[in-house]
Amino acid sequence: MKSPLVLRIDRIRCDGRGTCAEVLPELIELDHWGYPIIANGSVPRDLERLAIAAVELCPKMALELKAAEEGARSVSDRTDEPL
């Protein structure tokens, strides 16, 4: 069984465009300046594909999916795995 994934943001890279919240509103809200606030906890299995899409669509590459028990995993590594 694979480890659950967590979504992380690099606040230095993020410029508050809000694309991630449009793709994944179930886990990402925007503050009043337009910067994302990510829900704590792991990404539910049924939202993993949307989380991957949010990471891939981030124009500043400020989002990252990490295995909860491991180091960072790249999106390209995950897109070929069955969900």
Say if residue 75's pLDDT is above 70: no
Find, among 9, 1, 2, 14, the residue nearest to 27 by Cα. 9
Q: What is the CATH number of the domain that holds 59?
A: 3.30.70.20
Q: What is the pLDDT of residue 68?
A: 85
Confidence of residue 5 (pLDDT cuts 50, 70, 90): very high
Distance CA 56, CA 75 (A): 7
Say if residue 57's pLDDT is above 70: yes
Residue 22's domain comprises 5-79
Number of structural domains (the chain) is 1
Confidence of residue 79 (pLDDT cuts 50, 70, 90): very low
Indicate whether this model's pTM tops 0.85: no
